[in-house]
Amino acid sequence: MDIIDMARASGMAVILDGRIGREEYQSVCGSLSALQRFAEAVRQGTVQKHGRQKRAATPARRA
């Protein structure tokens, strides 16, 4: 899950993208509705990730 790509896809703008030493800095800004879309995208990504992990951890049933 690339959080910067998710922010851009939600309508937010990356206004700072830099590096100082080994640290990377990125800032985003946007409207409240863009923030809500971003939060929903993060929530959906988390739900999907947990769903895949749960299915992988559940043993197959035999008939």
Q: What is the pLDDT of residue 50?
A: 78
DSSP-assigned beta bridge partners for residue 29: 13
Domain boundaries, the chain: 3-56
- pLDDT digit string (tens) for the chain, length 63 residues: 689 999 999 999 999 989 999 999 999 999 999 999 999 999 998 888 777 766 666 566 655
Q: Name 45's Cβ contacts closer than 8 Å, sequence gap at least 6.
A: 1, 6
Q: What is the pLDDT of residue 58?
A: 59
**Could you tell me how many residues make up the chain?**
63
* DSSP E strand boundaries for the chain: 13-20, 23-29
Q: What is the pLDDT of residue 63?
A: 54
Q: What is the pLDDT of residue 35?
A: 97
